Amino acid sequence: MHRANALTSGIALARRYNREKAVHVADNDHIPLWGGRFEKTPAAALQEFGASLPVDKRLWAQDIAGSQAHARMLAAQGVLSQQDAELIVTGLDTIAKQITDGDFDFDIVDEDIHMSIERALTEAIGDAGRRLHTGRSRNDQVATDARLYCKQQSIALARQLLKARQTLIAVAEANCSVILPGYTHMQKAQPVLFSHHLLAYSWMLARDFRRMIAARDAADNSPLGAAALAGTSYPLDRQRTASELGFSSVIPNSLDAVSDRDFMLDLIYACTTAMIHLSRLSEELILWSTEEFGFITLDDTYATGSSIMPQKKNPDFAELVRGKAGRVVGDLVGLLTVLKGLPLAYNKDLQEDKEGTFDAIDTLSASLAAITGMLATLRVNADTMLQAAQGGFMAATDLADFLVGTGMPFREAHEVVGRIVLYAEKKQCALQELSLAELSEFSTAFDAAVMDVIDIAAVVARRTTEGGTSPASVEVQLAEARKLIEADERML
């Protein structure tokens, strides 16, 4: 009884899901297009269980483009008449308009977007529609659709990554003199420029951009014409369809063509790494916006309130980005697990490749939009940052370097400054508040020049090594970051 109730509940949930996805659940009154060999059709519950239409219907544009290219190629090869090919192409254009206008009926009995469109085409144009699938399988068809979609989405995400980088650079330039306490182990370490800190994320997203371009390139090979797994006896011109669909080449092995999902792994991995970077940035935005830090103030449009505490301003959207990173990690692990034990060639397991891929794409896109808007509208509290940078004894390393400059070995200088820090800590004051007389009690090597050495702005300005945090070094980084964006724009 318990199992029966669970099954009934599962079917009800599936039907509700399909209704929400605008997919019609039929009463098992249609025979599937593959049904000639069967005397019975699957039960309604199993049709819903086995159907991918609620997920893959978003591939309709790619499916229509692939079918039109296939029809034109069949006509050019003499497999279809020119009249049939023209009917197919025109019929598919009509279906595309119906879908765009919201007038297309997605029926769960069709299982997937490919069968759904083919059924509608056949009903509209008759026998010509039945000839479309000549020399083709759903196996190479779905792989073609997925590759086209992943190519397009990789480019769209790469553009969003560029915009996020441009925003980071703009905020950095607008706050180029702001000093921020830098941390290691979440303890104050050394002062850095706020612009330097933001540029670190710009370089992370630059690497994410390159990974996204690599994902685009990984999808840029055509499986169309591989058929089910072994190719076909029809004289197909795979190069022609690849060229028409914008692929750079064809996949040379038909078994690999229909079973490969590495390109999806590459895309999800690129999404995962980008989400990890956004999650790290979100964590800092969350910390910085607390009363304890107070380094930034989020714009009201990127925060929410509490249902019970009127004073609250919560960084919910940054928290959501941080949380959603875990989902995308799960999408990657999910597909890796699906693929790990599959024999060649196509297996129904591969139906599970799309939902995680689509989720990773959608989640990264929404997260990039949220973070980009958050950065563009936040207020930087420069005075609070500078005040925080005065604490934490962050000039200690420079104090040690001063002693090294007088000839003292670094390890000895390290010990001397450690005792100075302990003294200041017990006195509850900053290093800058110690007098020259107090410092001289720890080493006679100190002279009046040391007071300028421990000034926080001077500490920052001395970090002049390539990639360092001095204003001069950061200006070079800004120029490099802008130049890289220009180069990356040319890759799209």
Q: What is the CATH number of the domain that holds 12?
A: 1.10.275.10
142 & 118 share domain: no
Q: Which two tokens stand for residue 241?
A: 């369809």
In Å, how far are 88, 108, 116 from 102, measured between CA atoms?
21, 17, 15
Note whether residue 476 is domain-resident: no
Residue with tokens 């009463």: 27
Residue-range definition of the domain harbouring residue 142 = 138-234+251-387
145 & 293 share domain: yes
CA dist., res. 192 & res. 179, Å (int)? 6
**Apex 314 CA angle, 309 and 320, nearest 5:** 135
Query: How many domains would you assign to the chain?
Result: 2
155 & 268 share domain: yes
| Digit-coded pLDDT (tens) for 140-197 | 999 999 999 999 999 999 999 999 999 999 999 999 999 999 999 999 999 999 999 9
162 & 201 share domain: yes
* Backbone CA torsion sign across 117, 81, 231, 263: negative
Q: Which two tokens stand for residue 443?
A: 């080493």
191 & 215 share domain: yes
**Apex 356 CA angle, 284 and 160, nearest 5:** 50
Note whether residue 31 is domain-resident: yes
CA dist., res. 80 & res. 132, Å (int)? 8
In Å, how far are 143, 186, 352, 364, 388 from 358, measured between CA atoms?
15, 35, 11, 10, 43
Note whether residue 459 is domain-resident: no
Note whether residue 9 is domain-resident: yes
Give the domain-ending residue among 367, 387, 407.
387
Helix H or strand E segment including 20 = helix 2-20
87 & 120 share domain: yes
- Is residue 81 part of the annotated active site? The answer reads no
Note whether residue 401 is domain-resident: no
88 & 168 share domain: no
In Å, how far are 77, 107, 113 from 74, measured between CA atoms?
5, 28, 22
**Using only C-alpha atoms, what is the Rg of the chain?**
31
143 & 287 share domain: yes
92 & 227 share domain: no
Give the domain-ending residue among 92, 116, 131.
131
Note whether residue 379 is domain-resident: yes
What is residue 6's predicted lDDT score, i.e. its pLDDT? 40
| Helix extents (H) in 289-442 | 316-339, 353-377, 382-390, 396-405, 410-427, 436-440
What is residue 43's predicted lDDT score, i.e. its pLDDT? 74
203 & 310 share domain: yes
Q: Tens-of-pLDDT digits for all 492 residues of the chain?
A: 344 444 344 434 444 444 444 665 544 456 666 567 777 777 777 777 878 999 999 999 999 999 999 999 999 999 999 999 999 999 999 999 999 999 999 998 899 999 999 999 999 999 999 999 999 999 999 999 999 999 999 999 999 999 999 999 999 999 999 999 999 999 999 999 999 999 999 999 999 999 999 999 999 999 999 999 999 999 999 999 999 999 999 999 999 999 999 999 999 999 999 999 999 999 999 999 999 999 999 999 999 999 999 999 999 999 999 999 999 999 999 999 999 999 999 999 999 999 999 999 999 999 999 999 999 999 999 999 999 999 889 999 999 999 999 999 999 999 999 999 999 999 999 999 999 999 999 999 999 999 999 999 999 999 999 999 999 999 999 999 999 999 999 999
The CATH number of residue 300's host domain is 1.20.200.10
Give the domain-ending residue among 131, 160, 190.
131
CA dist., res. 202 & res. 193, Å (int)? 14
190 & 112 share domain: no
Best CA proximity match to 251, nearest among 147, 122, 366 = 147
Helix (H, G, I), strand (E, B) or coil at 265: helix
Contacts of 392 (CB under 8 A, 6+ apart): 181, 187, 188, 189
174 & 286 share domain: yes
The active-site residue out of 185, 233, 307, 435 is: 185
Note whether residue 172 is domain-resident: yes
- Is residue 195 part of the annotated active site? The answer reads no
Helix H or strand E segment including 23 = strand 23-24
Report field, pTM of the whole predicted structure over 0.85: yes
The active-site residue out of 177, 248, 249, 306 is: 306
Residue 43 has phi, psi (to 5 degrees) of -60, 160
